[in-house]
Amino acid sequence: MKPVIWCGDCAKLIDQTLLPTQEEWITCRTPDEMAEAIFTMKVRGAPAIGISAAYGIALGAINSKATSLSELQSELAKAHERLRSTRPTAVNLFWALQEMRKIWEANNADIAELKQRLTERACAIAEEDITMCKTMGAHGAELVPEHARILTHCNAGALATGDYGTALGVIRAAWEQGKLDMVWVDETRPFLQGARLTAWELMQDGIPCKLICDNMAGFVMKQGLIDMAVVGADRITANGHVANKIGTYSVATLCKAHGIPFYVAAPYSTIDPTLHDGKDIVIEERHPDELTTLAGKRIAPAGVPVYNPAFDVTPPELISAIITERGIFRPPYDQTLVKAFS
């Protein structure tokens, strides 16, 4: 399923904050509405954020009343800044916005043509993402053993991408090839992307899965019930440090301790060649309420100080391979990834 649908003069998004209990679609008609949807995580997941931001720019163009090209360009620059400020960690947001900016800065079209080009590019970013996920899935499935029991963390599925998913793309491809026995779904505190979204997606597809709390993963590994782990990524440095949903680092560390392969699946555009150290990745911190409340009910004492980083960084030595649409990269990543870039 596609989490974001382009409708010509608006974009429709499935509200991921309401899943799985309510399936409600919201309509965005302006860059501001799209920025708000990204910030409040009605749409989330690195590639889906990038796609939505591109649509946000297209909406700014399509619905603009500007009468000159320069007026339209300055409106788009404002929309660009607004969308950029929504979430800091996923590089896909900045990549997609840059792709859109290249088009309006080329300055060689009239207003109508520019509107059309921006819309076409946004739709192409969404379509390219689906192709990349399917290719990534096919590459990743090669790493999956027969009768695999795979652990995943957060949601790197159709809901987080154009469709099909990155980590869930690998899982879907392995399932289609008859190699998969079942999926262990980490709950993913505090936003519960695993419990709410990954479990929902897998059940929709009839893929056998079992939900566990994040703190159960080590015990399940110790029992010999997990053959591999695969997760998505929000940003990967040139030497293979991977920012992904908080808790990913713990999963990778547990995998290392139990001799279980730990894989990352992400489109090549998630690699940020400008960064060489995990410490340089900006980690988003979200509202304390995500920890102090559960389903709208307070579960911690009022006023308790809270630290709520939304992502962590897994170092390259814990990662068995990085799966992209361009193939599978193995350590040492400072050589293999950099070589692929050059």
* Residue 115 vs 245, nearer CB to ligand MRU: 245
Cβ partners under 8 Å of residue 196, min gap 6: 16, 19, 20
Q: In what order do the strands lie in the sheet containing 209-212?
A: 209-212, 180-186, 148-152, 228-231, 262-265, 321-324, 327-329
> Interacting stretch for ligand MRU, rule CB under 6 A, among 41-49, 53-61, 113-121, 209-217?
41-49
Identified binder of ligand MRU from the candidate list 185, 221, 255, 310, rule CB under 6 A: 310
DSSP code, position 144 = P
* Residue 104 vs 191, nearer CB to ligand MRU: 191
DSSP code, position 138 = H
> Interacting stretch for ligand MRU, rule CB under 6 A, among 42-50, 213-221, 254-262, 313-321?
42-50
> Interacting stretch for ligand MRU, rule CB under 6 A, among 57-65, 118-126, 207-215, 227-235?
227-235
Q: Considering 129, 214, 227, 234, which one is annotated as catalytic?
A: 234
> Interacting stretch for ligand MRU, rule CB under 6 A, among 74-82, 107-115, 121-129, 156-164?
156-164
Question: Does residue 163 carry a catalytic annotation?
Answer: no
- The answer to whether 193 contacts ligand MRU (rule: CB under 6 A) is yes
Question: Whose CA is closest to 52, among 78, 82, 24, 75?
Answer: 82
* Binding-site size, ligand MRU (CB under 6 A): 18
* Residue 166 vs 269, nearer CB to ligand MRU: 166
What's the token pair of residue 74? 């300055």
- The answer to whether 3 contacts ligand MRU (rule: CB under 6 A) is no
> What's the one-letter identity of residue 247?
G
- The answer to whether 46 contacts ligand MRU (rule: CB under 6 A) is yes
Handedness of CA 215, 152, 12, 271 (dihedral sign): positive
> Residue 246 is inside which H or E element, if any?
none
Q: What is the DSSP string of 288-300?
A: THHHHEETTEE-S
- The answer to whether 183 contacts ligand MRU (rule: CB under 6 A) is no
What string of H, E and C letters represents the secondary structure of 149-210?
A: EEEECCCCCHHHCCCCCCHHHHHHHHHHCCCEEEEEEECCCCCCHHHHHHHHHHHHCCCCEE
- The answer to whether 44 contacts ligand MRU (rule: CB under 6 A) is yes
Identified binder of ligand MRU from the candidate list 47, 162, 194, 316, rule CB under 6 A: 47
CA dihedral 289, 292, 296, 299 (to 10 degrees): -170
Strands 297-298 and 293-294: antiparallel
| Contacts to ligand MRU from residues 244-263, by CB under 6 A | 244-245
Identified binder of ligand MRU from the candidate list 3, 45, 88, 316, rule CB under 6 A: 45
User: H helices within the chain, ranges in order?
Assistant: 31-39, 46-62, 69-84, 91-105, 111-141, 167-176, 193, 199-204, 217-222, 248-258, 289-292, 333-341
Identified binder of ligand MRU from the candidate list 135, 161, 198, 269, rule CB under 6 A: 161
- The answer to whether 235 contacts ligand MRU (rule: CB under 6 A) is no
> What's the one-letter identity of residue 137?
G
- The answer to whether 90 contacts ligand MRU (rule: CB under 6 A) is yes
- The answer to whether 160 contacts ligand MRU (rule: CB under 6 A) is yes
- The answer to whether 156 contacts ligand MRU (rule: CB under 6 A) is yes
> Interacting stretch for ligand MRU, rule CB under 6 A, among 29-37, 44-52, 301-309, 314-322?
44-52
- The answer to whether 234 contacts ligand MRU (rule: CB under 6 A) is yes
Could you list the residues that contact ligand MRU (CB under 6 A)?
44-47, 90, 154, 156, 160-161, 166, 193, 231-234, 244-245, 310
